[in-house]
Amino acid sequence: MRQQSQVVPPETFDLRRIRLRRPRLSDAEAIFEYGSDPEVARYADWPIRSTIDQILESLRQRSEFWEKGVEFYWVITLPIEDRAIGGVSCCVVQHSAEFGFLLNRRYWRNGYATDASQAIVEWAFSVPSIWRVWATCDIENLASARVLEKAGLSREGTLRRWVVRPNLSSEPRDAFIYSKVR
C-alpha cells in the first residue's frame, strides 16, 4: 500500500514550450483522443480507453488521489491552445518519486515528453525528502527509454516479468528501470 505523501506539488509548471497543469473534466475529450489510440496505449499498463466515461472516471479518481497525496497528475498542454496533448504523473512514497508520461501521437518527436519529464525530475529533487526519482518502461519501448535518458536518468537494469501490458499481452513483460539519485 502506498504511503500518503507530505509533499505539496505545484498545480502548474510553466515551461518554455509547454505547460503542465492539473486536469479538468473539460479535458476529457482531448485525453480520450490519445487514450483511445492503440499506438499511444501500446505500452501502457492499463487497457486502451474505449469510452469517454472511462476518462471522466479516471479524472475524478486522479483528483481524489491528488487531494490524498497518493498520486499527482498533470496534463501536458501547449500554452497558447491549453488543450491536453499528454499527461505526466508522479507518486511520492517515502524518499522516492516514481513518474510516467504519455503523449498524443501527433506530438511525438518534438521533445515535449522530455521537457515534461525534466520538469518533474527537477521538481522532485527540489523536495528535500526525495532522494530517488525513478521510472520504468517496456524493454521494447525504446523511444520512452530515450526520453528517460534525456531527462537525466540512468538505466539500472531489467525488471523481469515486471508488469502486464494489457494492450500487448496478458503475461507480465520485462521492463527497464531508470533512476536518478542525489
Sheet holding 132-138, edge to edge: 12-14, 19-21, 72-77, 84-93, 96-103, 132-138, 172-181, 154-164
Predicted confidence (pLDDT) at residue 26 exceeds the cutoff of 80:
yes
DSSP-derived secondary structure for 69-105: TS-EEEEEE-TTT--EEEEEEEEEETTEEEEEEEE-G
pLDDT-derived band at 120, boundaries 50, 70, 90: very high
51 grid coordinates = 469510452
Is there a contact between 12 and 81 (Cβ–Cβ < 8 Å)? no
pLDDT digits (tens, 9 = 90+) for 139-162: 999 999 999 999 999 999 999 999
What are the residue ranges spanned by the domains of the chain?
12-130
As a whole number, the mean pLDDT across the chain is: 95
pLDDT digits (tens, 9 = 90+) for 51-96: 999 999 999 999 999 999 989 999 999 989 999 999 999 999 999 9
Task: Look up the CATH superfamily of 12-130.
Answer: Gcn5-related N-acetyltransferase (GNAT) (3.40.630.30)
Cα 171 to chain centroid distance, Å, stands at 22
| pTM for the predicted model, two decimal places | 0.93
